[in-house]
Amino acid sequence: MKKVVGLILFLLVISACKTNPFTGKSTLNFYPNNQIFPTAFAQYNQFLEENKVVKGTSEAEMITKVGQRISTAAERWLTANGYPGYLKDYKWEYNLVSDEMVNAWCMPGGKIVFYTGILPICQGETGVAVVMGHEVAHALADHGAQRMSAGTLQQAGAVIGNVAIKDEQTLNIFNNAYGIGTTVGGMLPFSRSHETEADRIGLQIMAIAGYNPDEAAELWKRMKANSGNQAPPEFLSTHPSNDTRINNLTQWAPAAKQEARKFGVTTFQ
């Protein structure tokens, strides 16, 4: 049984690689778009039905406007770099939801929600573009499917261990150590790498859309102030620390502007 599970795991890994066009790296992804997108779209629609969606206000219209500019910029970049059909299955949608939570998120396939609680920190359209670029980048890089794939591998490893270990005491030790080890040493760093990747891709596409990438670091300074510096240590978090993000975004902004110039964008709002 252990050999069978191990063989299945091996075959899954070698058959599940997909290239990220923005990084050129192979990524782990067991879930094709036609499998994961319909489920994500249905969950998104259910969420909208159960929450207060803001319609017809200037803020709601701004969310849609910025989202369309960012996704159009992403498509321009992909087409110019040899991926003209990459977004054919995406169904972009941008909604503002009334909630004090300081957050925004994106589901696979381009379904995005902004909470009204993040708007004061955004301080206008360019700040929204920073957040929107990051969320669109998650969709472009298939981060949702990658997290699901990593979770599948984590579960498969646990199954192998539970099949192989017969002694109950040893099994208990394994399960405790495996859970902590694969989370702190695997899943959390994996998640942080996605956030960093989305920051970098998002910075690039917001610049191509005509938004000033220098404002990304400024937004995260405001996010840091809003948090009151209350955050877990980075190695125990799904996200990089505020200081790490601020430093990264500051360093990457000039390259994002340079990339935007390739598309004729030389001034930024």
User: What φ, ψ does residue 143 adopt, rounded to 5°?
Assistant: -65, -35
Active-site option among 93, 135, 195, 215: 135
CB 9 within 8 A of CB 156: yes
CB 17 within 8 A of CB 28: yes
Structure tokens at 150: 């990593």
User: What φ, ψ does residue 222 adopt, rounded to 5°?
Assistant: -70, -40
Question: Does the annotation mark 215 as catalytic?
Answer: no
Give the Cβ contact number of residue 80 at 10 Å.
12
Q: Which helix (H) or strand (E) holds 96?
A: strand 93-97
Among 14, 28, 9, 17, smallest CA distance to 194 is for 28
Q: Which residues are catalytic?
A: 135
